[in-house]
């Protein structure tokens, strides 16, 4: 009772006008709880590695070296961060509307396949035009793939989580079919692939780095997604749908339009990841496009709490973890699935930590 008087309005700190302590508290909660969950993950994973017969501290120091220890490993990490930024957006954008889309792998594969087909068909046009057309085709294909899951949800009430994952399996089957059949390059013998783009038509590296431009695309996409969702009317509408569909309908928002556009953008970003993998890494569409980036993207989006800006550091961390996998395999004889186990533990911990929000008094607004 006495407290209440003492806690009466103090919206802005006297020293910095417009700066409220409450926003700091909320921000601290949003950062410290996931960090705490990741620390808990580190402990559980350490125990797991110890049970498997490896020294946890050595494992972590090797992971650090493999991810960020040298200039070479930094570049390896950044190379893997690029597609992860884009596949995480494929989960984070629909999540604003309350949709749980987990089929980013399918959109990535479709984007890669269609852009490789376009590239093979139009070989001979100037590289910048070719790459532009490939990117557009890849984004359209990936966008259509996730928009399909969104449409099924909107018009038929089909659960989008299940349908998007089924569509991912279908996309992989479709790619295998095209790569081994109609689009197969006769010169690819053991590992069937589409005709190679050729060195001259590939996306080059960022000057001074051995990292391709896909990283820049990913960063721009994350910034654009943030602006779209937090600073535009469209984003406000989308977040309103995610908060309360009925209220959004009452306010006259078209839920269908908002969710179709958002799903298309989400799929387009994963499709762009596929195009970048084809045009900057593999040089053609083939089975190695299915590398699990779509699934890691789900985890990244959840850790980033579906915030496109927070996706950037989290994707960097998981790019690093993926990059260090090879070193763990060589030096500690741990199987490549070690990384999957770490991701699984992190995912479980992060979701369990959802229960902690609002539990700590220190994070609560005092105003």
Partner 1 sequence: MEDLGWWGVVLAVLAGAIRVSTPFLFVSLGELLTEKSGRINLGLEGTLVMGAMSGYAISYLTGSPWLGVLVAGVAGALFGMLHAAICSLPRVNDIAVGIALMLLGTGLAFFLGKAFIQPQAPILPAIDFGWWSDVPQVRAALQINVLFVIGLLLAPFLLWVLTNTRWGLIVRTVGDSADAARAMGYSVDLVRLAATMAGGFLAGIGGSFLSLYYPGSWNEGLSSGQGLMAVALVIFARWHPIRCLGAALLFGGAGALGPALQSVGVSQGYYLFNAAPYVLTLVIMIATCSPTRTLAGAPGELSITK
- Residues near partner 1, by CB under 8 A: 52, 100, 102, 152, 154-159, 161-163, 165-167, 169-170, 173-174, 176-177, 180-181, 295, 298-299, 302, 335-345, 347-348, 350-352, 354-355, 357
Residue with smaller CB distance to partner 1, 192 or 214: 192
Rounded to 5°, angle at Cα 24 from 18 and 30: 140
Residue with smaller CB distance to partner 1, 292 or 313: 292
Q: Work out how close the CB of 123 gets to partner 1 at its nearest, in angstroms, rounded to a whole number.
A: 25
* C-alpha dist (Å) from residue 246 to 249, 250, 276, 326: 5, 6, 39, 49
**The tokens of 162 are what?**
């299940």
Q: Work out how close the CB of 109 gets to partner 1 at its nearest, in angstroms, rounded to a whole number.
A: 13
Residue with smaller CB distance to partner 1, 4 or 190: 190
Which residues, 6+ apart, have CB-to-CB distance to 164 below 8 Å? 101, 102, 103, 106, 146, 149
Q: Work out how close the CB of 334 gets to partner 1 at its nearest, in angstroms, rounded to a whole number.
A: 8
Q: Work out how close the CB of 160 gets to partner 1 at its nearest, in angstroms, rounded to a whole number.
A: 10
Residue with smaller CB distance to partner 1, 78 or 101: 101
Which residues, 6+ apart, have CB-to-CB distance to 20 below 8 Å? 11, 12, 13, 367
Q: Work out how close the CB of 162 gets to partner 1 at its nearest, in angstroms, rounded to a whole number.
A: 5
Residue with smaller CB distance to partner 1, 112 or 214: 112
- The Cα–Cα gap between 51 and 87 comes to 33
Q: Work out how close the CB of 46 gets to partner 1 at its nearest, in angstroms, rounded to a whole number.
A: 15
Residue with smaller CB distance to partner 1, 210 or 336: 336
Q: Phi first, then psi: give them for residue 14, nearest 5 degrees.
A: -65, -30
Residue with smaller CB distance to partner 1, 262 or 343: 343
Q: Count CA atoms within 13 Å of residue 126 on its CB side.
A: 2
Residue with smaller CB distance to partner 1, 21 or 245: 245
- The Cα–Cα gap between 210 and 72 comes to 9
- The Cα–Cα gap between 209 and 72 comes to 10
Q: Work out how close the CB of 22 gets to partner 1 at its nearest, in angstroms, rounded to a whole number.
A: 21
Q: Work out how close the CB of 55 gets to partner 1 at its nearest, in angstroms, rounded to a whole number.
A: 17
Please check whether residue 249 is in contact with residue 255, taking contact to mean a CB–CB distance below 8 angstroms: yes
Residue 64's nearest CA partner among 278, 328, 267 is 328
Residue 243's nearest CA partner among 33, 347, 95 is 95
């Amino acid at each position: 009772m006495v407290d209440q008087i003492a806690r009466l309005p103090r919206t802005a700190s006297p020293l910095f006008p417009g700066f409220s302590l409450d926003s700091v508290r909320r921000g601290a909660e949003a950062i410290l709880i996931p960090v705490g969950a990741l620390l808990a993950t580190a402990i559980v994973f350490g125990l797991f590695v110890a049970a498997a017969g490896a020294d946890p501290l050595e494992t972590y120091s090797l992971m650090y070296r493999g991810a960020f220890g040298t200039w070479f490993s930094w570049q390896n990490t950044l190379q893997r961060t690029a597609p992860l930024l884009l596949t995480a957006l494929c989960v984070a954008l629909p999540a604003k509307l309350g949709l749980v889309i987990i089929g980013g792998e399918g959109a990535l594969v479709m984007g890669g396949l269609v852009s490789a087909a376009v590239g093979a068909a139009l070989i001979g046009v100037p590289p910048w035009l070719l790459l532009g057309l490939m990117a557009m085709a890849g984004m359209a294909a990936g966008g259509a793939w996730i928009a399909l899951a969104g449409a099924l949800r909107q018009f038929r009430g089909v659960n989008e989580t299940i349908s998007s994952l089924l569509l991912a399996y279908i996309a992989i089957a479709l790619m295998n079919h095209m790569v081994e059949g109609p689009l197969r390059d006769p010169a690819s013998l053991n590992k069937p692939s589409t005709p190679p783009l050729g060195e001259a038509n590939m996306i080059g590296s960022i000057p001074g780095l051995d990292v391709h431009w896909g990283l820049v695309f990913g960063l721009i996409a994350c910034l654009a997604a943030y602006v779209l969702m937090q600073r535009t009317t469209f984003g406000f509408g989308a977040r309103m749908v995610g908060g309360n569909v009925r209220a959004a309908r009452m306010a006259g928002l078209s839920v269908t339009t908002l969710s179709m556009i958002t799903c298309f953008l989400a799929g387009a970003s994963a499709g762009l990841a596929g195009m970048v993998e084809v045009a900057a890494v593999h040089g053609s569409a083939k089975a190695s496009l299915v590398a699990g980036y779509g699934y890691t993207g789900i985890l990244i989006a959840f850790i980033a709490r579906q915030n496109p800006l927070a996706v950037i550091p989290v994707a960097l961390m998981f790019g690093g973890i993926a990059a260090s996998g090879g070193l763990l395999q060589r030096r500690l004889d741990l199987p490549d699935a070690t990384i999957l186990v770490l991701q699984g533990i992190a995912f479980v911990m992060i979701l369990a930590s959802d229960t902690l929000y609002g539990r700590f008094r220190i994070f609560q607004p005092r105003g």
